[in-house]
Amino acid sequence: MKPAYFKSAVGLQPFPTDPRELNAFVRWAARGHIMGQVAAAHEGEAAGKLKDILENARVRSAHDRRMLEFEAGRIRRALLGSGIDPIILKGGAYVAKGLRAGRGRRVSDIDILVPEVYINKVEELLTVAGWQAERTTASNYDQQYYRKWMHELPPMRHGRRRTLVDVHHRLLPRTARLQPDHLVMADAAEPLKDMGVKAFAPRDLFIHAAIHIFADGALETPARSLIELYYLFDDLGAEERRSLVHRAAEVDAIKPVRAALWAVSRYFDDAHAKVALRSIGPWRMGFVLRACVKTLVAENGFVPIAKLALYIRSHYMRMPLGLLLTHLFKKATRRN
Which domains, and CATH codes, for the chain? 65-200 (3.30.460.40), 201-336 (no CATH)
CA distance linking residue 233 with residue 231, whole number of Å: 5
Integer angstrom CA distances of residue 33 from 120, 162, 190, 200: 34, 21, 29, 24
Integer angstrom CA distances of residue 19 from 15, 22, 43, 51, 81 = 10, 5, 19, 14, 57
DSSP state letter for 152: B
Q: Which of 27-31, 73-77, 109-113, 316-320 has the lowest mean pLDDT?
A: 316-320
Out of 101-110, 178-187, 218-227, 305-314, give the one with best mean pLDDT.
178-187
pLDDT at 305: 95
- pLDDT value of residue 285: 67
Model confidence over 130-159: pLDDT tens digits? 999 888 887 888 888 889 889 999 999 999
Average pLDDT score over residue span 149-177: 93
Give, in order, the Cα–Cα distances in Å from 248 to each of 111, 167, 307, 331.
Answer: 22, 24, 27, 35
* pLDDT of res. 46: 83
Report how far apart, in Å, the C-alpha atoms of 85 and of each of 158, 186, 238 are: 20, 10, 30
**E-strand stretches of 180-323:** 190-191, 198-199
Q: How many C-alpha atoms does 147 have within 13 Å on its Cβ side?
A: 13
- Amino acid 195: pLDDT: 77
Q: How confident is the model at residue 283 (pLDDT cuts 50, 70, 90)?
A: low
Q: Give the SS3 label for residue 216.
A: helix
What pLDDT score does 132 carry?
92
List, for residues 83-102, the tens digit of each pLDDT value.
999 999 999 999 989 999 99
